Structure 1
């Protein structure tokens, strides 16, 4: 008779095993590392850090260490669009051209839903800027990215297939600014961070108090990694894993946006066709800045200049995990899966 799946009788057992998962992910505490957190219905039930937030000074990673959440920021951008749709300020089937001055002809065929679900066919602005000779070590802001995108053309007809592109979310941030007349970071702060009491900042390429430095690793040595690029919408939320799992409770409660926003998170989600397999997401449908897996859990990954984040919400939306690192880990998704298993059994 086979043994039943392991259960964790007490939170003390769960905390012990969770610490072991983090230690397995970060074997040595002497270099850069990771922090992780687990939330239940909006409360942080476990969090820890291992490794160095700053190798030069020896500053340790703790639960209070701030990381760049990279593409895990996209869910806030998508939810801002859903929030405005719920207020009848825009519609998901609106063409991109509606929100642009001197719009290129091709933008009449791209809808906001195409941007949200990565079916616009628009090339990634990071590639476009680099093709123009703009290096990651050169200054480049939001307008430079948008100008490069609008000077290009979709590589596929809009709506044909899923193709992940950061350009989509930079453009969605522009739409929010155009509709509201408010800077995008200010809108996100006012509509999401403040009402949910989240200690989060949307600040591209900015040092914030308590933030980790990010690193590249080669041959066991670590080189600081940073870029002066200042785009937003596709990334740039700065926070801790504990705050990210507190945010996850909005997927259960709909405190911001209500049932209409919650429905919009997964309505119209498109098959990723294995495009995200390199990020460990072999099956799934891309919704509003987050992937819906076959078991109904939500997941997203983020990678930017040495920062890496994995965020996952349980199928019943009661439990969430976040694993964030300041150097590329072996793979943080299995660790996130393990933590979710530990705290949902």
Structure 2
């Protein structure tokens, strides 16, 4: 049974979010110890259940086969992290932005070769040399808006939204020649969200809801800096001390999708079925992907090629990381696209990428 509830999105707009219950975990054969082994991975990742922690889920062909949580979603109230706890997915939200652009390209409402200047009022000269494909694959050479805002004296504790981020980007100059090399920048995806709004005439959160979340019956919402029902609080841990971590910044396109790990592995099945966007979107996910070199090595990713908001690894698996103000997410899809894993934490956990790999191994071997 599904029900519709309103959630406030960026700009105060109200959208209806489908709260569809995650598929019931599948029954497993007697002697199947995968659930026990998965629980052990989560316990190793979160040794103590008394502090902030993590939730994880595994999906197979669109059904959740295992999900669990460990630790506290809110230290003040003592609320525990469960499989139903909502998290900020941070940069794992980028794949929806990229897929929105691919969806519009499939409808011939735009093309990846189009210059950014086509979608701006009074565009700076340099935007004529940056294509939508450059933005999608992080080869634009544009500085990250977070650095630009901080350079202007705007702190993470100060209010700042989409308008401020885009203004700072357009007032700057690219650090590198467009198309020259991969350089990860959140500015690229904030600009792509603007492009989608310009083309469709709809707020970006509304477009994602109508084109992705509702058709796929996903309990997701794009809600920057909003405490959605059931959401975990995020924390910093330094020197054994844990403090709350939050920011009133309200940018989107680069992040801000709010959901559970179980819903995210259900979303992953679109990479197998192409239910949204069809074969053209699926081809566009990896078509023209560019080498990241060792840029993402600090995030635990040794090598790969960046496509449409997702990394394609040498074994053909898909992976992405997300990190924002105490929230940390890891998302992986197996090479055959049948199995997906999501691990999300509300405090920095350096082993979350390793845990995701372990869970994928458990459920694919």
Which TM-score tier does this pair reach, normalised by the shorter chain? over 0.9
The answer to whether the aligner puts 1:141 opposite 2:123 as a matched pair is no
Greater shift, 322-331 or 85-94, is seen at 322-331
In the other structure, the counterpart of 1:311 is 331
> 1: CA distance between counterparts of 2:329 and 2:179?
28
Q: Over aligned residue pairs, what C-alpha RMSD do you find?
A: 1.0
Cα deviation 1:249-306 (Å, max 9, x = unaligned): 0000000000000000000000001101011111100000000000000000000000
How far apart are residue 221 of structure 1 and its match?
2.0
Choose from 248, 254, 268 the match for 1:228: 248
In the other structure, the counterpart of 2:103 is 83
In the other structure, the counterpart of 2:4 is none
The answer to whether the aligner puts 1:328 opposite 2:348 as a matched pair is yes
Q: How does 1:24-43 map to 2 (within 5 A)?
A: 24-43=44-63
In the other structure, the counterpart of 1:70 is 90
Greater shift, 262-271 or 325-334, is seen at 325-334
Q: How does 1:137-286 map to 2 (within 5 A)?
A: 137-286=157-306
Cα deviation 1:86-106 (Å, max 9, x = unaligned): 000000000000000000000
In the other structure, the counterpart of 1:296 is 316
Distance 1:10 1:106, change over 3 A: farther
Distance 1:54 1:130, change over 3 A: same
> 2: CA distance between counterparts of 1:260 and 1:218?
46
Count of aligned pairs: 338
Gaps of 5+ in 1: 1-7
In the other structure, the counterpart of 1:5 is none
> 2: CA distance between counterparts of 1:93 and 1:238?
31
